[in-house]
A and B are shown apart, each in its own frame.
Chain A
Amino acid sequence: MSATVDVTSALQARFPQAAPRASLDHEAVNVPMGDVIAALQYLRDEFAFDVLTDLTAVDWSEAMAPRFTMVYHLFSSTRHVYVRIAADCASDTAPSAPTAIGLWAGANWLEREVFDMFGITFDGHPDQRRILMWDGYPHHPLRKDFPLAGIEAPLPDAEIVAETGMAANPVPLAGGPFVAHSGQINMAEAEPRAKDESWNERRPKPE
């Protein structure tokens, strides 16, 4: 099926700034943030991409500009093709994107997750709250500058903190991150293990 050619060129015809995006699997298109909702609606209505499979973001790290990219994965349940739409956030310090709830109601929680994990705000989102971390948590864990072990943060409940003296502490990673070496023949060696054993609970991580 020639759907792959169709989508990019059709999008480019309609949105002149759209550009093909390098992709190893499915067709992908870069779209300016201002056009993204219109482009998604165009794909949904004209090309039967009726399922929002996923909506997420990429943090390219503090040094990069643009730093944040929104990514939308669409699927057509009638034509059985996927397409990926990416849009860079204009601001690196206060990134934002328009909400896609008007097109797919299911975008609601996905956008809350992106807000929670990346700190990207969604214009027009009716219920912009954290979804995974607790209210008042000051960090965005999926940003590149957030350490895997976490950063000390106050617990939400002052009463409990007074009782227990607890805070959300960085965890001892004991040499993490833990990774599974897939494809190894010996299953005993394929189980998750620390990449780096040079530090542990007692000895701090060498910087």
Chain B
Amino acid sequence: MVSSRTELGYDSKIEGEVIVSRRDAIINWVRTNSMWPMPMGLACCAIELMGSGGARFDIARFGAEVMRFSPRQADCMIVAGTVTYKMAPQVRRIYDQMSSPKWVIAMGACASTGGMYRSYATLQGVDRIVPVDVYVSGCPPRPEALLDGLMRLQDKVRHEPAAGKLFTA
């Protein structure tokens, strides 16, 4: 995280205006705490997703309350619900339209594995069409579980080699 080496940060000549850190730390700190989800609410799990945005669970505590309904403004797709084959291309298309870097949370049994829908119409896990970072178990997962998933994703983002990718890619 951000370094607090006092001899530099509080040098009297440049007092309070310079903080020394690593690029990764800064970039990841920013990304971690301003993750804007793309709510891909497809079925009942979406209700729990809405619940986690409400006052009781308050996803805003993690900086992720800014649900963007435009994929270009979102960086974390939360697939909440049953992905059918009819819907799968649209999910993938929205994922493609999100700008990098982007992450995916598969929320609930359906999004993760098809859940109880062992049927011809249901995609057996959204990871067949988009790369998933965090799977949240449950049917439906409680908002706490989603928040836990979000925290795990934040943990992952926090330790990504972000700068290397940023400046070489």
Residues of A in contact with B (beta carbons under 8 Å apart): 132-134, 141, 146-151, 155-157, 160, 163-164, 166, 168-174, 176, 178, 192
Contact = CB atoms under 8 A, between A and B. Distances in A.
Interface string B59-90: 00000000000000000000000000110110
B96 A149 contact: no
A171 B89 contact: no
Given A133-B85, A157-B92, A171-B114, 6 more contacts: A155-B85, A160-B89, A160-B129, A166-B129, A169-B124, A171-B119
Contacts of B128: 164, 166
A172 B85 contact: no
Contacts of B121: 132-133, 141, 150
Contacts of B129: 160, 164, 166
B89 A157 contact: yes
Contacts of A157: 89, 92-93
B118 interface: yes
A134 to B, nearest CB: 4
Contact of B116 (A133, A164, A178): A178
26 contacts: A132-B86, A133-B86, A134-B85, A134-B86, A148-B120, A149-B118, A149-B120, A150-B120, A150-B121, A151-B120, A155-B88, A155-B89, A157-B92, A160-B92, A160-B93, A163-B92, A164-B129, A166-B88, A166-B128, A168-B85, A171-B118, A171-B122, A172-B118, A173-B118, A176-B118, A178-B118
Interface of B: 85-86, 88-89, 92-93, 96, 114, 116, 118-122, 124, 128-129
A148 B119 contact: yes
B120 A141 contact: yes
Nearest to A192: B116
Nearest to A161: B89
Contacts of A133: 85-86, 121
A146 B86 CA distance: 18
Contacts of A160: 88-89, 92-93, 129
Contacts of B93: 157, 160
